[in-house]
């Protein structure tokens, strides 16, 4: 008789266990805003798991938020994603929707404005 228990997947997504809220070392994901000049700003995302494909995440963020961005390698922080504009509220929704971070693991820094959650 063949053991079928080991062949049937328990969930639809085979990477669900590794994908679920897997950020770096169980720490926090930090969202910061930096002013460039009077009206321009940059949103930075740091603290995501190093095993994630940052270029893939950036591509999806740029497509969903209709903004430009890039991945920067920092000496102290590691890889950091930078996005044009104040995208903090949108990034929170994206990270929670894609299960890259739990809402409790996201820390928002910078000036408080525009109704950031």
pLDDT above 70 (res 64): yes
* Domain-wise residue ranges, the chain: 26-108
- Predicted local distance difference test score (pLDDT) of residue 50: 83
pLDDT tens, residue by residue, 1-59:
455 555 544 444 444 444 444 454 558 999 999 998 888 999 999 999 888 889 999 99
CATH match of 26-108 with 3.30.780.10:
yes
pTM of the predicted model, to two decimals?
A: 0.72
pLDDT above 60 (res 116): no
Q: Which long-range contacts (CB under 8 A, 24 or more apart) does 15-24 make?
A: 19/99, 19/100, 20/99, 21/99, 21/100, 21/101, 21/102, 21/105, 22/49, 22/51, 22/52, 22/100, 23/47, 23/48, 23/49, 23/100, 23/101, 23/105, 24/48, 24/49, 24/50, 24/78
- Predicted local distance difference test score (pLDDT) of residue 42: 94
Give 51's DSSP letter.
Answer: T
């Amino acid at each position: 008789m063949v053991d079928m228990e080991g062949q049937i997947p328990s969930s639809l997504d085979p990477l669900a266990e590794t994908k679920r809220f897997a950020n770096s070392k169980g720490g926090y994901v930090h969202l910061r805003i930096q002013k460039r000049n009077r009206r321009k700003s940059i949103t930075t995302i740091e603290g995501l798991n190093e095993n994630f494909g940052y270029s893939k995440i950036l591509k999806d963020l740029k497509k969903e938020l209709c903004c430009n961005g890039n991945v920067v390698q920092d000496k102290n922080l590691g890889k950091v994603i930078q996005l044009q504009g104040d995208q903090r509220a949108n990034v929170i929704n994206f990270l929670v929707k894609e299960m890259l971070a739990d809402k409790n693991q996201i820390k928002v820094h910078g000036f408080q404005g525009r109704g950031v959650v």
